[in-house]
Structure 1
Amino acid sequence: MLKIILILLVLLPSGSLASEIEPFKSDGCSVFPDGTREQHDLWLACCTAHDYAYWQGGTYQQRLAADKALEACIAKVGEPEIARIMLAGVRAGGTPYLPTKFRWGFGWPYLRG
């Protein structure tokens, strides 16, 4: 009986993996503001570009490059301190191993991206 359960646990998830990525969607800067009190969407475009990379997923190096690009983009709009905070946040919270809506590879089923 235990063998049957183990076989089912191994085989069932493989049949449910989507072969196509979900349509792209962005939630802006996820759990972080999209800008300052004065400029509500100051770095929103940076977050949308970052979301696009996260939606696609890929290798560890691609994730690191996407996170560094986010940091550079936010620093470029004049907020280097916010850029460093955002980098720390996405490095910690964007891992593909947590089933969040903003994880690396979120366009794919969990643990596929």
Structure 2
Amino acid sequence: MELRAHQALIDRIARPDTGLAPFETDGCSGGLSQVWGMVSARFPEFAETYKAAPPWEACCFTHDRAYHAAAEASTAEESYDARVLADAELRSCVNETGRLRRSELAEQYGVTPDRVELAYGLIADAMHLAVRFGGGPCSGLSWRWGYGYPNCSVLQTLTGD
């Protein structure tokens, strides 16, 4: 079913009136970066410990780069595969962030390094599920696959209009 949406996106990209908008990012979508920033602005203790942005926000920037241009795919199958890969890389990056911070955070919270990695693993899995569920092409959402292109419609692909 998702391949139909990828085909609609590829068809939209192929239109002569379609251009790629300049890259923009909201950090980690779904309000994650925005809420994190609001909480850190309101609670200085939170900001002191956790900073003003999620520690894995760089992973979201990389993920947004792929999503923005639909990884420059030229077929529906390439687009689908590229999205699956981008989402897996997001999960891997968040896990790696936890692995790199495990000793520091374990000491800070009085837990084992394995518990830190477990927590980051849960975060990574939740983020992966969220992007797989909510990031498909042609959804109308601002964080959709191919969001740098004008929105598309699966109905256009089905009807030919």
TM-score normalized with structure 2 length: 0.55
Q: Give the match for residue 29 of structure 2.
A: 30
- Distance between the aligned counterparts of 1:53 and 1:18, measured in 2? 22
Larger helix proportion, structure 1 or 2? 2
Instruction: Give the deviation of 1:32 after TM superposition.
Output: 4.6
Residue identity over aligned pairs, in percent, reads 35
Write out aligned runs for 1:1-113 (5 A): 18-34=17-33, 38-39=49-50, 40-57=53-70, 58=73, 59-78=79-98, 79-111=120-152
Structure 1 stretches of 4+ with a deviation exceeding 6 A read: none
Contact 2:18–2:150 (Cα < 8 Å) also in 1: no
Q: Which has the higher contact order (CA 8 A, sep 6+)?
A: 2
What's the Cα RMSD here?
Answer: 2.3
- Distance between the aligned counterparts of 1:17 and 1:83, measured in 2? 38
- Distance between the aligned counterparts of 1:109 and 1:17, measured in 2? 12
TM-score normalized with structure 1 length: 0.77
SS of residue matched to 2:32: coil
Larger Cα-atom Rg: 2
1:31-62 per-residue CA deviation (whole Å, 9 max, x = no partner) reads 15247954233011000100000001131000
Shift of the 53–20 alpha-carbon distance from structure 1 to 2, 3 Å rule, reads same
1:63-83 per-residue CA deviation (whole Å, 9 max, x = no partner) reads 000000000000011111100
Contact 1:29–1:47 (Cα < 8 Å) also in 2: yes
Contact 2:87–2:132 (Cα < 8 Å) also in 1: yes
How many residue pairs align between the two structures? 98
- Distance between the aligned counterparts of 1:19 and 1:50, measured in 2? 22
- Distance between the aligned counterparts of 2:133 and 2:144, measured in 1? 10
